[in-house]
């Protein structure tokens, strides 16, 4: 199921951190004035043992690698 983001959204500067196998930070990015554009939910099936993946698409005004 795809869901567009409705209503007013506040832009925020966020940090995205990539973790390694030991769950230690491997890289980080600062995303300037980010806001959500799209949110996708998985189709759930109670009879299957599948991984559920949610997706968020984020628009922004700039991005910098900080580590």
Q: What pTM does this model have? A: 0.71
pLDDT tens profile 7-23: 778 899 999 999 999 99
- pLDDT bracket for residue 4 (50, 70, 90): low
Could you tell me if 13 and 30 are in contact, meaning their C-beta atoms sit under 8 angstroms apart? yes
Could you tell me if 38 and 1 are in contact, meaning their C-beta atoms sit under 8 angstroms apart? no
pLDDT tens profile 35-56: 999 989 888 888 888 888 999 9
DSSP class of residue 7 equals S
Residue 29, pLDDT score = 98
State how far the alpha carbon of 24 is from the alpha carbons of 19, 20, 21, 27, 29, in Å: 5, 6, 7, 9, 15
Residue 3, pLDDT score = 56
Contacts of 65 (CB under 8 A, 6+ apart): 27, 28, 29
Q: What is the mean pLDDT of residues 52-66?
A: 95
């Amino acid at each position: 199921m795809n869901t567009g983001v409705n209503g007013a959204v506040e832009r925020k500067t966020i940090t995205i951190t990539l973790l390694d196998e030991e769950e230690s930070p491997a890289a980080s990015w600062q995303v300037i004035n980010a806001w959500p554009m799209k949110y996708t939910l998985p189709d759930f099936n109670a009879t299957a043992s599948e991984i559920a993946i949610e997706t968020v698409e984020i628009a922004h005004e700039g991005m910098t690698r900080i580590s």
